[in-house]
Structure 1
């Protein structure tokens, strides 16, 4: 690789670099579901989150723009789980520790556990009153490494295999016993498939159900995000430059996304949501979540996502009831990817796989159509409970 120059680039080269970084950053940030944000957040210490970092502007932005209100995110317990390389993963739980079923939520690329805001409230309330006596399930949410309030690891560990190992660590530490349902959105769904590859023995024994939302088993590098062919070629040309900029000149990349905040927010709206009347507060909420994702993290994970191939990881999922859900207007990971998942997991009519396509919904379907997503997840939990009762 060429050595980084020690002098500032010529103004014309600088302009090209800015444009390339903007396009590339937006492409990288939306590759698995989101664009970048208007607010930059200082990096968390490698592997060790600091209390001061956890109270910075992006968290305040999240609280201010939370669609459920600034005081909506109640947690019964919080904890840090140490991954196998020492990275600390931020975990929040809702519901009793001894609930008969645990549901673990795994968020997407450049998001955080706060992306599950609606599901956290509605499912928590439904499960708490399901039998009129005690909650029927515990909900566990965690931030993937480098995202939200979790720590960062070495760049070479920015892989789906490592994320799968992190999920295994969360299960071992926070759900050592009892049945588990895994719910993954976008990169979170890929993490679930990665766990199936890493620990197939868990599926059908400990893992008794799964939901794969707006996700894919591979071929992400071929996506065009609904762009015309010319712009797709431009994106492909500048992405390597942008990735280099994010990793080698993160301060410059952070300044770039601040300068282009309004443009990037428009991209967020266009590529994350499909409804004509989507609440602008939801777009701002996504923007604020991305604020906690350092540009280096976005750059480090992108190659793993672009080169993803988890088709060989689906066999274990055939052992458990599985929900595949997508929006019909998802421009990041089109519904054809979900259709392929169903085809490989099927047949759909055997009672194991349910396929839900939500009209007028984009990649952030869990925020855009939370009621329908909540109903589908509730139906999955009912199916899991019925299978468990009959076994």
Structure 2
């Protein structure tokens, strides 16, 4: 009979749990965040599935969440909420601001481990600007939705965690909530990749239906080569241990969640380093980000990671040349460095008849939409004015 190995000492197991937790947190922090209330807001979908009485009670709680103000943003409440059913039955949570018959609709697509709440600053600013643009009615409708597995949307089967599926979900949101009229798509990080996926899936939409695009802190591929701003030695360690963390998140999600909590302080430090460039980020914003990462299930993070790491959408950019496109990035983005935006702009072209406008925000990291919200909102407003002028819609 073979001799079994003795059990590891308790302190060794504790160190191992801490390391795994740190890796899980790093994997989660490694691409983006979501909203503080993701877990609670997720009850909205479940309540709708349970019946009218549960839905009423849950909607009351959701209304309280929507009026909460974790970032001091005086966030604009939704005029309408809806559930959109994807092609595989997954329910996607949608919120809208502005009239259904507005001459232009702006659809916001969030990133990996985020939710629609990541647009809190832009939601407030753009809603206020559009509501007063011509003195009496909004010139655009704002549509926000949670990607599958994120925020308050439902989850699909693991094999559906692909850019192609996310692009299909976006197409369904457009068909269901924006069946007519011109649309501007705004995507951050994985949201930008979703838009590129839609360009590959439905290129005919760009021009006739999709009148403008904004790609914020995103990439068209080669994400597996990112080093997150780490020294070479640590990059090698990361490459060796990330598969272990990914396996743990997929196969042992309960263990991964526990170890992630054990390493919460380390995760918080890593998150701030990867998300922001400014040294004076408001601690409340940091806590907001921490809460969102903690609110995204680790198995969702693991399921989407291979699709992101293996993505190659450089060939999907061609349809975007038919419409005005904003490419925006922070100059100190450690997650998806500026060079990835450089490549997108090079592919789209600048000058002459080219459509791309390039904005590089100084002293900003991957979460530029939260770190430098005024710069992002200003660039989006300029894009919307450009699109409106092309469409002869009042700015």
Using the size of structure 1 for normalisation, the TM-score is 0.90
Q: Distance in 2 between matches of 1:132 and 1:283?
A: 37
Partner of 1:4: none
User: Match of 1:361, SS?
Assistant: coil
CA displacement 1:93-138 (0-9 Å, x = unmatched): 0001110000000001001100000000100111111111210000
- How has the CA–CA distance of structure 1 residues 42 and 350 changed in structure 2, closer, same or farther, with 3 Å as cutoff? same
C-alpha displacement of 1:193:
0.3
Secondary structure of the structure 2 residue equivalent to 1:350: coil
Equivalences for 1:363-378 in 2 at 5 Å?
363-378=366-381
8 Å contact 2:35–2:115 — kept in the other structure?
A: no
Provide closer, same or farther for how the CA distance between residues 292 and 50 of structure 1 changes in structure 2, counting only shifts above 3 A.
farther
5+ residue gaps in structure 1? 1-7
Aligned mates of 1:50, 1:221 — CA distance in 2: 38
1:27 aligns with 2:26: yes
1:5-154 alignment runs, 5 A limit: 11=10, 14-15=13-14, 17-34=16-33, 41=39, 49-50=46-47, 66-69=70-73, 72-154=75-157
Contact 2:36 2:288 in 1 (8 A): no
For 2:260, the equivalent position in structure 1 comes to: 257
What is the match of residue 3 of structure 1?
A: none
In structure 1, C-alpha distance between the alignment counterparts of 2:37 and 2:235, rounded to whole Å: 26
CA contact (8 A) 2:220 2:340 kept: yes
Counterpart Cα distance in 1 of 2:99 and 2:66: 26
- Structure 2 residue corresponding to 1:160, chosen from 158, 163, 166: 163
Check conservation: 1:40, 1:258, Cα contact below 8 A. Answer: no
Q: Residues 189, 133 of structure 1: CA spacing in aligned structure 2 closer, same or farther, 3 A cutoff?
A: same
Match of 1:352 in 2: 355
Which deviations, in whole Å up to 9, do the C-alpha atoms of 1:134-191 show, x marking residues without a partner? 1000000000000000000000000110000000010011000000000000000000
What does residue range 191-340 of structure 1 map to in structure 2 within 5 Å? Answer: 191-340=194-343
Q: Against the structure 1 CA distance between its residues 333 and 63, is the aligned structure 2 distance closer, same or farther, given a 3 Å change threshold? A: farther
State how far apart, in whole Å, the 1-side matches of 2:354 and 2:246 are.
43
Root-mean-square deviation (CA, aligned residues, Å) is 2.9
State the number of aligned residues.
380
| Residue 65 of structure 1, CA deviation | 6.0
What CA deviation, in whole Å up to 9, does each residue of 1:274-331 have, x standing for no partner?
1111111111111222233111000000000000100110010000000000000000
Bigger mean CA offset, 18-27 vs 331-340: 18-27
Alpha carbons of structure 1 residues 327 and 22: separation in structure 2 relative to 1, 3 Å: same
TM-score (norm 2): 0.89
Deviation, structure 1 residue 21: 2.1
Taking a change above 3 Å as real, the CA distance of residues 9 and 319 of structure 1, as seen in their structure-2 partners, is farther
Note closer, same or farther for the CA distance 1:37–1:139 as it changes in structure 2 (3 Å cut): closer
Tell me, what secondary structure is at the counterpart of 2:46?
coil
Larger Rg: 2
